[in-house]
Structure 1
Amino acid sequence: MRQLSFDDRLRSNTQQLRTKRRNLVWPAIRKRLKTHRRFICFFLSFASIALAAGIWLSQPGTISKVNNEFNSNVKTLSINFGLKVNNVYSEGRSKTSIPDLLEAIGIQRGDPILNFDAESAKDRVESLGWVKSAQITRKLPDNIHIKIIERRPFALWQNEGKIVLIDREGSVINDALTDVYSHLPIIVGKNARETAPILFQTIAEEPYLYERVVAAVRIGNRRWDIIFEGGIRVYLPEINMSKAWSRLASANLENNFFDSDVKVIDLRFPDRMILRINTNKIDNEKTT
């Protein structure tokens, strides 16, 4: 006979709790292990397929073959469903020639519209001299829409004996139409085209003066000389060019330099304006 005690009762309760917990925990563990085994099997299967596909695609000519087959299927699908280019519409075109635009698009009537790469065509169109920006979209089933913004001629750039047309940002537009735009000012000098945008912004602030500008010469890659009609030459400063240009406009309202004997206007000093007179003209007038 075994003597009972409170310790025996505690041991009995503890064993019952352990058995109960074991009955609750093990099914959950077995279920989780089963799920993990399924995931591992799926992962190994996927990895095997990916490895096999990688080995297959690494074979010479495989990717090209797949791409050709895909393009062929797209072409067949486009033809069967009538998805062929029939019309090309343009918006904003004025100076850009139609043949150049169509050549840049690189598509012919009857080509599968699904094969048309609008982004590549956009890059080619924007490489045309007159085109500043372009938007190209496909309009199913058979239309291509082109919207372009053209550059505006602002000056002629003389470089190494060649004259080309440029816009206000200094971008080259064309080298074949300089006679048509011979009324525009000419810029010359080292890095003249690259630094021209700041100059153009400055001289455009005073339209009355800008209309009389014949040429702009880059001096020492530091500053500009402006030559007006009639031969007046203005020395602009290296810094605060816009302020000096405004001073010239104000002084001209009072003195009308374009109807005077002034030959040179030196604006390089912020506190004064130096004028040089055409003495030859004065001497000739005295002689007559």
Structure 2
Amino acid sequence: MDGAGRLARSQRSPRPQADLRAAAIGAAVLLREWFGRRRAPAEPRTRERDPHRLIMFVERYLPNRVGVAATVLILFGSAGLGIVKGGHVDELTAALSDTRNALANSAGFRIKTVVINGRKQLTQDEVLASGGVNGRSSLLFLDADAVRSKLKGNPWIADATVLKFYPGQLQINIVERSAFALWQLDGRLAVIADDGAVLEPYVARRFLALPLVVGEGAETRAKDFLALLDRYPQVLSVTKAAIFVGERRWNLRLKDGLDIRLPENDVGNALAELSKLDQEDRLFSRDIVAVDMRLPDRLTVQLSDDAAKAREELFKDKKPKKKAGDA
């Protein structure tokens, strides 16, 4: 109330659409004056145009509250541009997802039970983390196909199925790859599966007994070669590493340091000959450093330095000595 006891009238700011209409009217008047000045003086004026017609047109066809809508659109556009420019799209998406899941959880779709079948090497937490399932996830909005794709991104998981049982049970069935061998390349060790997939860097001692393969391309060729080597336990039992050379043939490094250079072809026959030579002549126990089997018609043995010197001395002693009177 004012000082005279009368109700004071509320002071309201002009409506946004009124401002927009006034701006449109002013623009119409300015356009009319500008076009009038640009008209040639000699041009006859056939009809006087009513400036209020454009104003009436704008007032009649301009939608109600268009000013408020335009302001809201500008604000949302500015906010969206700031989010994109600032690199906050992922944060916004995560926040919206968390909000949606929170509403679903409060409605009774919280994941209360998780059943994971087929895991041996991975823990339950590792499986859930690979699938992107956490304590905020709700069963209602969980995308089973997306979870399956994420699970298959883990090198240990060859295949997976994801089942949802409403209102709150999640079942994950996985098929794990098996650790097959250790693969060394450029001085780094990794655990590989039989298909050559790198499962993880070698850090755990539980993989110490796996066979060792070395060289580029060895990870994909190891399965066939090691299967062939298994047929010759005499050679396998003393083998420390299988080395893939030039991505075309194999060498064997034995536990005592002896190198066996296998041929590119007929590897099975070469391994069979090695087994026979060790059984009959104890080849692997001799003082040698290398056996070269790359040529199909011969086997070359390289003696150690000590063995080579002893052999030279032996041959010197066996040479006939010249008599004093011999010329």
Residues 61-81 of structure 1: CA distance to partner in whole angstroms, max 9, x if unpaired?
xxxxxxxxxxx999978865x
Q: CA deviation at 1:165?
A: 1.7
Contact (CA 8 Å) 1:203, 1:210: kept in 2 or not?
yes
TM-score, normalised via structure 2 length: 0.54
Contact (CA 8 Å) 1:244, 1:270: kept in 2 or not?
no
Distance (Å, rounded) in 1 between the aligned partners of 2:160 and 2:311: 58
Q: 1:187 aligns with which of 192, 210, 213?
A: 213
Counterpart of 2:301 in structure 1 is 275
Q: 1:203 aligns with which of 229, 245, 251?
A: 229
| Counterpart AA for 2:259 | R
Distance (Å, rounded) in 2 between the aligned partners of 1:205 and 1:134: 34
| Counterpart AA for 2:264 | E
Contiguous gaps of at least 5 residues in structure 1: 1-71
Alignment of 1:219-258 (within 5 A): 219-258=245-284
Q: Which has the larger radius of gyration?
A: 2
Distance (Å, rounded) in 2 between the aligned partners of 1:286 and 1:139: 81
Aligned: 1:131 with 2:157: yes
Higher relative contact order (CA 8 A, sep 6+): 1
Residue correspondences, number: 219
| Counterpart AA for 1:240 | D
Contact (CA 8 Å) 1:130, 1:173: kept in 2 or not?
yes
Contact (CA 8 Å) 1:225, 1:235: kept in 2 or not?
yes
SS of residue matched to 1:163: strand
Distance (Å, rounded) in 1 between the aligned partners of 2:166 and 2:293: 61
Contact (CA 8 Å) 1:85, 1:111: kept in 2 or not?
yes
Counterpart of 2:57 in structure 1 is none
SS of residue matched to 1:246: helix
Contact (CA 8 Å) 1:156, 1:164: kept in 2 or not?
yes
Distance (Å, rounded) in 2 between the aligned partners of 1:190 and 1:275: 27
Residues 122-176 of structure 1: CA distance to partner in whole angstroms, max 9, x if unpaired?
2222222333333333344432222333333333222233222222322111115
Contact (CA 8 Å) 2:110, 2:167: kept in 1 or not?
yes
Alignment of 1:91-102 (within 5 A): 91-102=117-128
Contact (CA 8 Å) 1:88, 1:143: kept in 2 or not?
yes
Q: Once superposed, what is the RMSD of the aligned Cα atoms?
A: 3.7
Counterpart of 2:115 in structure 1 is 89
Q: Percent identity?
A: 24
Contact (CA 8 Å) 2:102, 2:136: kept in 1 or not?
no
* Structure 1 residue runs of 4 or more that deviate by more than 6 Å after TM superposition: 72-79, 284-287
TM-score, normalised via structure 1 length: 0.61
Q: CA deviation at 1:227?
A: 0.4
Contiguous gaps of at least 5 residues in structure 2: 1-98, 314-327
Distance (Å, rounded) in 1 between the aligned partners of 2:283 and 2:117: 45
Counterpart of 1:119 in structure 2 is 145
Q: CA deviation at 1:103?
A: 0.9
Identify if the C-alpha distance between structure 1 residues 249 and 163 changes in structure 2 by more than 3 Å, giving closer, same or farther: same
Counterpart of 1:41 in structure 2 is none
Counterpart of 1:66 in structure 2 is none
